Amino acid sequence: MKFFGRVAARSAAARSGGSARLHVGCGSEAIAGWVNIDSRPLPGVDRVLDVTSGLPFENVAAIYAEHFLEHLAFDDGLAFLAECRRALREDGVLRLSTPNLDWVYLTHYQIGKWSEDDESLRDCFQLNRAFHGWGHRFLYNAPSLAAVLRASGFANVRFQRYGESDVAELRGLERHETWEDTPELPHVIIAEATGRAESRPLPAKFLDPFREATAIR
């Protein structure tokens, strides 16, 4: 996990926040009126930054990241969320959209329903693709996403539907197409996190063995 406490890295850019809205990991989907951030200098990117080294902003009004968090290793994700909390102003809001592990599990690996060997082979590859493809590092279900947000110092977590929000500027932001979604089983989890609270760490009995095992290469 990289260290986020390097105040020097923030410098003058740190004070460019104010009412800024950050769109992190924007890829090629820049949003007008937002500061579009990506580690790659793609068209529409306003700031080329590796956000695992920190977010050089303060007092921002909103942070949005679609299909981004799952691209960070677990501890980098945790540190990124804590950095979002730090960079947001007190009434700021973080909105995340990330693949839904429940949906992946239930739609990609239909054990017991295989009528031919070919189907078990298909599911083996598609489940592994979901975990390892496209640069994915960690997939969340709704409770684990809420838990990492609370561990990162957010007080409130609210799940939203695709494109919907109580906050006007967060409506209609999602770009990824909905795919085999039902209201009970959406393929993405969309969470909005607000407020500030003391960190509620995740249970060590789950984290420690995970960290130990994933450290082995």
Ligand X SMILES: C[S@@+](CC[C@H](N)C(=O)[O-])C[C@H]1O[C@@H](n2cnc3c(N)ncnc32)[C@H](O)[C@@H]1O
Site residues, ligand X (CB under 6 A):
25-27, 29, 38-40, 49-52, 66-68, 71, 134, 175-176
**Least separation, in Å, of the C-beta of 138 and ligand X?**
12
β-bridge mates for residue 88, sequence order: 60
The phi and psi torsions of 33 (rounded to 5 degrees) equal 90, -10
Q: Nearest residue to ligand X, using CB?
A: 27
Q: 5 or 135, CB closer to ligand X?
A: 135
84 neighbors 152 (Cβ within 8 angstroms)? yes
Q: 171 or 200, CB closer to ligand X?
A: 171
Q: Is 16 helix (H, G, I), strand (E, B) or coil?
A: helix
**Least separation, in Å, of the C-beta of 151 and ligand X?**
19
Whole-number Cα distances in Å, 195 to 69, 90, 93, 155, 156: 20, 7, 8, 5, 6
Q: Is 138 helix (H, G, I), strand (E, B) or coil?
A: coil
**Least separation, in Å, of the C-beta of 172 and ligand X?**
14
127 dihedral zone (left: phi>0; alpha: psi -120 to 50; beta): alpha
> Largest alpha-carbon pair distance within the chain?
62
Q: 38 or 102, CB closer to ligand X?
A: 38
**Least separation, in Å, of the C-beta of 163 and ligand X?**
13
**Least separation, in Å, of the C-beta of 1 and ligand X?**
12
Q: 134 or 206, CB closer to ligand X?
A: 134
Query: What totals of helices (H) and strands (E) does the chain contain, helices first?
Result: 5, 7
Q: 99 or 153, CB closer to ligand X?
A: 99
